[in-house]
Amino acid sequence: MSSSFRWWPLGPGLVRACCGGGWGAALAAAVILVLAQGLMLAVLFGAQDHQLAQQRSEQMRNVGLSLGAALDNAGRFALAQAEVQVRRDDVLDAMAREDRAALAHLTQASYDYLKGQAGVNIFGFHSKDIRYLLRMHSPRNFNDDISGFRQMVVAANRSRHYQVGLEMGRAGIGVRGVSVLARGEQFLGTFEVGMDVQPLIESVKAVTNAEIAVLVSPQMSGVPVGQELEGRRFGDVVMMATTDERRFATLLREQGLDMAGETRFGEYRADQRHYTVMTQPLVDFSGRMIGSIAILKDFAELKSGIKQTRTELWVVALCTGMMAFALLRVVLLGAAPSRDTA
């Protein structure tokens, strides 16, 4: 045996002394290496889990922000269209006379265009005593008192100031802009433009690939829902709009969702899939909470990528252990004294 080998501090002689030499030494060294790699992988996987949780939370919050921006933009658009109409002298003249036929004639073209091109589904005038003077979207229904359930119109009437935002009505929820019709100090009434929330949540889904539901509590809103919405009631929650009615209906029946005044996260399993659930408060034009926005998103693709990476790392670790075993075995056999020299 050479002097360089005899004096090598971590040479095969020391390994044989500690582990008995031969197959045992190589196997022990390989196992130790694999265990060390396993420990490092466990730390790495823990960091991956933490990062995945952060990514899921961030993506879910971004969906909520995107939806909030869509609702805000729709509100500004509705109010802008309302303000255009209330600044027309011919509309003011007809409103002063409460001339329904003249108002319909003057605004028909605008309503037809906005309905077809911008998704406007509410377009109408309210008298100063808070009666619906003209519904362009339902012209045969008029002169009814709306002071008991149209709080946005009441607020605009009393404050003589425009209102904008979400409002719950008997027929559903919408994003509305209510403007004031006035000539000098003479108050004439109010005018509103409204948009359905369904196209808005569909547009957000198209960008984020998340399922969304708008949930309203009649108890919170103070507005009883119409008979046509009773089929969407789940306890004290009414599903006003959704991108996936079946899935959210199942979630509400089986698990339910809290109407909390803060953003909350949860988990939901259905159809052999695992969803992250986020709920955030739904507030109306006045800032009052009237329900929740629920968001579901499946992160299976992201999880699949991490799972594949982990499998590859485990394979690398096992292969490294096998290679280490083979290499140490060769070294130990080469360093063992032959029988001729014994």
Distance CA 228, CA 30 (A): 70
From residue 246, alpha-carbon distances to 66, 145, 211, 228 in Å are: 23, 36, 11, 18
Contact 214/239 with Cβ under 8 angstroms? yes
- Band (pLDDT 50/70/90 cuts) for residue 341 is very low
Give all domains of the chain, ordered by start, each with its CATH number.
51-300 (3.30.450.20)
* 289 has a pLDDT exceeding 80: yes
pLDDT at res. 70: 95
Q: Which residues contact 172 (CB under 8 A, 6 or more apart)?
A: 196, 229, 240, 241
* 36 has a pLDDT exceeding 80: no
From residue 25, alpha-carbon distances to 19, 180, 319, 339 in Å are: 5, 90, 18, 20
- Band (pLDDT 50/70/90 cuts) for residue 329 is low
- Band (pLDDT 50/70/90 cuts) for residue 166 is very high
* 35 has a pLDDT exceeding 80: no
Higher pLDDT, 243 or 172: 243
Sign of the C-alpha dihedral, residues 100, 101, 102, 106? positive
Distance CA 322, CA 34 (A): 9
Q: Which residues contact 313 (CB under 8 A, 6 or more apart)?
A: 41, 44
pLDDT at res. 168: 87
Least confident of 176-180, 203-207, 219-223, 293-297: 219-223
Higher pLDDT, 219 or 83: 83
Sign of the C-alpha dihedral, residues 142, 146, 149, 152? positive
What is the arithmetic mean of pLDDT over 131-138? 96
pLDDT at res. 275: 86
* 338 has a pLDDT exceeding 60: no
Give the β-pairing of 264-270 and 273-283: antiparallel
Tell the residue number behind the tokens 């044989």, with chain if given: 16
* 7 has a pLDDT exceeding 50: no
- E strands, the chain, in order: 120-127, 132-135, 163-169, 172-183, 186-196, 211-216, 233-234, 237-242, 264-270, 273-283, 289-298
| Local structure of 24: helix, strand or coil | helix
What is the arithmetic mean of pLDDT over 119-139? 95
Contact 130/154 with Cβ under 8 angstroms? yes
Residues facing 292 on adjacent strands: 215, 281
Nearest CA to 222 among 160, 279, 163, 288?
288
* 308 has a pLDDT exceeding 50: yes
Q: DSSP state, 229?
A: G
What is the arithmetic mean of pLDDT over 76-86? 97
Percent of the chain with pLDDT over 90: 54
pLDDT at res. 1: 43
Higher pLDDT, 327 or 247: 247
pLDDT at res. 18: 46
Higher pLDDT, 340 or 130: 130
Q: What six digits make up the tokens of 241?
A: 């709009």
Mean model confidence pLDDT for the chain: 83
* 163 has a pLDDT exceeding 80: yes
